[in-house]
Each structure stands twice: as structure tokens, then as C-alpha cells.
Amino acid sequence: MGDAIGNAFTGISDSIIDAILNRFIQWLFKSIYDGIANFFTQISNMGTEIFDLSWVQAVVKLFSLFGWSLFVVGVVVSAFDLAIEYQTGRANIKTTALNWIKGFMAVSLFTITPIELYKFCVSLQNTFAKDLVTIAAGEQYVSLGSLATKVLVSSFNPGGAMISAGLFELVTLIALGFCVFKIFFDNIKRGGILLIQLAVGSLYMFSIPRGYGDGFNNWVKQVFALCLTAFLQTTLLFLGLLSWSTNMLLAIGIMMSAAEVPRIAQQFGLDTSVKVNVMSAVHMGTSAVNLVKAVGK
């Protein structure tokens, strides 16, 4: 009878200790990976904090004013084009007015929407990473017996523990450092790339009122690709870290795939590089020269 009661109390105490240990392991896991998620968010925020600087805001304002100037010139040129087409009977006032509305919306938002969209992607990545940590922490389970076994093995056989850390572990650690540093520098320069894209976007404000929107559409795709890359690269890197304790090789594969996000996005028409539509720029220059000649006559 006494043995049965003792065994019952032993089983209950083991269950309580295992539950407390599991809660502690889950708390520790969540705390560590929440800290890593906040660290990655701070890295991504380096690209957004550039737009909080007063001198950078002045540069963005300059691009906005330059875009408004080109928009006004484009409206004037499109009005001349409409007058010429009216004389030949090919004028379409509805299409011209619609192009003006598109141009007005574009010039009003091209320096605001990309920045806010980029900030939203960074914030979304942080929220998503913490949700992933909560899911992964719930799957962590360590019993007291397995933990004691690991401690005893490492204590009485330290040589075996050292031998297990071989070439594979060294290579995985080097690959981990490479992925982290690559994503780190990519996130740092992404804010500057977005600033360049704002400068390039102002050049298209001349052609939109005239109905030439292909260059601006490509520019919008570049902005979307930049924001998508900011979200996916950090998320894949964090997924790799979450998978590290389960399968190091799989984790390295996930993290190294983060570097391929821009190339894959480019295959689907989302190019993160900054490019200017050459034909649009040539057409804009030719139209400006013709306008100056017409005014001079």
C-alpha cells in the first residue's frame, strides 16, 4: 500500500516537474527568438529610418516638386497635342482627361506610397516572425529524463561531445554567418535604393498625362519587388533559424534561398534593380525640345 502511494506521488511529482520544465523551455525559446526577431526588425528598420531624417525628407520633397513640375509641363504638352488632334478630327477629350487624373494621382502619391508600403512590410515581417515563434515554442517538449541523460552524457564523455562538432557543423556555422551578413547589408542599403527609385519615379510624371504609362508601370513593379524582397528575405532567414535545432542542413537551405528572392522575383516581372525606360526618356526629351521650338516661333 505504501509503495503504491509512493509511486503515485512520484508519478505526480514527475508530471509536475515535466510541466514546469516544459513551460520554462517554451518561455526561454520564445524569449530568445523574440529577441532575434526584434534584432532583424531593427536591421530592416535601418532602411526606413533614413526617411525620418530631415535632410532626406528635404531630398524627397525636392523629388516631389520636380515631379509636379514635370506633371504641369506634361499637361501643357498634352493640351497642345489635344488641340492638334482636334484639328484633324482625332481628338479624344475623355481619354486626355483620364490621363490627367492618372497623372495627378501618381504625382500626389509617388513619394508617399512607396515609403509607407515599405514601412508596412517591415512591420508585417516583425508581427509574422513573433507569431511563428509562438507556434514553434508550443512544439518544444523536453522531459526531465531526457534532459538529465544529455547532461550526464556531456559531463562524463566530453571528448565525444567535442568530436561530434566536426566539419559539417563548422560549414553550417560559416553558411549561417554568410546568410546573416548578406541579409544585413541588403537591408541596410534597401532604404537608399528606395530613395533612388523615388528620384527615378519623378521622371515619369511628364509622360503619364500624355498617356505613356508603361515606364511608370514598370517603376511600380520595382517598388513592389523591393517591398516583397524586404519581407521575404528576413522571413526566410528567420524560418531557417527556427528550423536550426531540427535540421541544420534544411535550415541552411532555407536561409540561403533568401538571397535568391530578388532573382526569382525578376523572373515574374518584379525587378528590384533601378532602371529607367530609355524610350520614355528619349520621348520626353524630344517633346520638351519641340515645345521649346514651338514657343520660340
Q: Which residues contact 198 (CB under 8 A, 6 or more apart)?
A: 60, 63, 110, 111, 114, 115
pLDDT tens track for 69-86:
999 999 998 888 888 888
> Of the ranges 98-112, 231-245, 251-265, which is most confident?
98-112
Task: Inform me whether the pLDDT recorded for 148 exceeds 60.
Answer: no
pLDDT, position 185: 82
Output the CA torsion 120→122→128→134 (10° steps): -130
Residue 10 lies in a domain: no
- The domain in which residue 260 lies consists of 37-296
DSSP 70: H
User: Which pLDDT score, from 0 to 100, does residue 68 have?
Assistant: 94
Number of domains in the chain: 1
pLDDT at 212: 87
Which residue in 127, 82, 131, 288 sits closest to 205, CA to CA? 288
Flag whether 183 is in a domain.
Answer: yes
Q: Is the pLDDT of residue 196 over 60?
A: yes
Confidence of residue 152 (pLDDT cuts 50, 70, 90): very low
* pLDDT, position 67: 92
Between 245 and 186, residue with greater pLDDT: 186
**Residue 131 predicted with pLDDT over 50:** yes
In the chain, % of residues over pLDDT 90: 18
State the pLDDT confidence band at 4, using cuts at 50, 70 and 90. low
**What gap in Å lies between CA 23 and CA 44, rounded to an integer?**
31
Q: Work out the widest C-alpha separation in the chain, in whole angstroms.
A: 116
Residue 24 lies in a domain: no
In a domain, 241, yes or no: yes
* Structural domain contains residue 174: yes
C-alpha to C-alpha distance for 100 and 43, rounded to whole angstroms: 40
Quick check: pTM over 0.85? no
Domain assignment present for residue 261? The answer is yes
Whole-number Å distance between alpha carbons of 168 and 132: 27
Is residue 157 in a domain?
Answer: yes
Q: Please check whether residue 223 lies inside any domain of the structure.
A: yes
Output the pLDDT for position 72. 93
Mean predicted confidence (pLDDT) in 111-120: 92
